[in-house]
Structure 1
């Protein structure tokens, strides 16, 4: 008899809800590479139509997918939307044996609460938030951090491998969110540091491009420097449609919630939040979040 973790991908029925900037390419990679039957749903008809052209079946709503699929992936803007979808659409239609996988970035406490509520109806849950850029989502080179049982991780890993090059089992439910939230917290704090370095360097007469290039050759080198610093801060280009200030504020709030949950202060995250709030208040709420460099304070 075939166990869940031995089930061939082509025998699985998969649902995918949330086809935004990251969700659509993740869904497309799994659809095209796994050979599994896939249903898709989004409030916007355009990504649904694009995936239907590749062989996906449009679903009328999320509850309809809950009734039919083996695994339901969610890729939503944040915890508020995940809460609404799980409690408002998945739980009322819950079917024992379903595995719900949240690839969104959501609060740790909420993730564990929803897992318990789903478990009461026989539904398994795993958190699998994703890291890296939109281009990485397109290329299938994301990093995915998974919280869930070992059995569910074994089921999910072959599917996630179609969208990611690095897949880490971080522990039980919620631990994927912990690692993702801390990943983003470190990124935000690093971007704040880069904004200060660039502003101070320019003010002191050092060429900005030379500064960042030289930092990249020393111990200050980082993903944030090479991507957020060199590709956004140096050319002063912060497009809408990339990871915006509002989304970054949401994620840093999750880090501060985690600090409260664990009983510690996160001073660096508090600083990052204040800088992002200042950028938001300056009208940069939808701009790519390294735009916070534009609101550097001058000494009085």
Structure 2
């Protein structure tokens, strides 16, 4: 039985590794370029085909994976001029972006009469996990569609969790990121308070590491804090703010009191407003420290 033909939109930090695993594990893969040619050329050297545009990519695919910034980009990719829907053919579209669940549900209903099935399959973990094929996936949608897309998801995922109907995957992703970005905001303020008292990040780490408050997110965050490795957690403050803004919208729409969500969002809004939007999330610790007149480095 022939494997489904896969199209991939968004071969960036996360997408390159995902697409690499798809093509190297046997699926015919078609990609489309955006700005950076390097990942495109690398994937072509591994056997991927390059489409000239989204219309052509849709025509050559059975399942299309999206790994773009958020809902505006997803909407433009699907329904914008020359978007995937313009090909006029049946498709399954897996949105691996961190998107607004309300947009996902609306788009799915809009596209269904055109023969396009949109499901939400957002991701957790890092670009290193994408390269290794060990991402976590939260999968919304109906059972029949999930059974069809699972062989594709398994090419880049080590763990796949079914979350429920369309939209539930993106909702769960926002909750996941709320917890993660909440940790980032807490670590940043705790480090600053410690610095005010003369407690270095090294002392802080010696207490937290291997204790009950340790976790993989803490480890990547503190790889920046202690080692100044800029690649420790390549997720921008701008993306964190975007996700927390989506969470705020969901809380408002559902009538949910969400004071901690607002506080976490404001931490990232503050950093973005200070010109640090393109810095990575662990660098929030330096922003908060600097605003309080302390440093987290010896120099």
Change (3 A) 1:240 1:249: farther
Which of the residues 22, 39, 46 maps onto 1:47? 39
Alignment of 1:109-258 (within 5 A): 109-228=102-221, 230-235=222-227, 238=230, 242-258=234-250
Structure 1 position 201, deviation (Å): 2.1
Q: Give the gaps of 5 or more residues in structure 2.
A: 294-299
Distance in 1 of aligned mates of 2:255 and 2:185 = 24
8 Å Cα contact 1:130/1:144 also seen in 2? yes
TM-score (norm 2): 0.90
Matched with 2:85 is: 91
Distance in 1 of aligned mates of 2:51 and 2:286 = 43
Structure 1 position 213, deviation (Å): 3.0
Structure 1 position 245, deviation (Å): 1.0
TM-score (norm 1): 0.90
Structure 1 position 290, deviation (Å): 2.3
8 Å Cα contact 1:275/1:295 also seen in 2? no
8 Å Cα contact 2:192/2:292 also seen in 1? no
Structure 1 position 43, deviation (Å): 1.4
Structure 1 position 241, deviation (Å): 9.2
Matched with 2:297 is: none
Aligned-CA RMSD value: 1.9
Task: Name the count of aligned residue pairs.
Answer: 288
Matched with 2:101 is: 108
Matched with 2:296 is: none
Distance in 1 of aligned mates of 2:204 and 2:284 = 19
8 Å Cα contact 1:238/1:287 also seen in 2? no
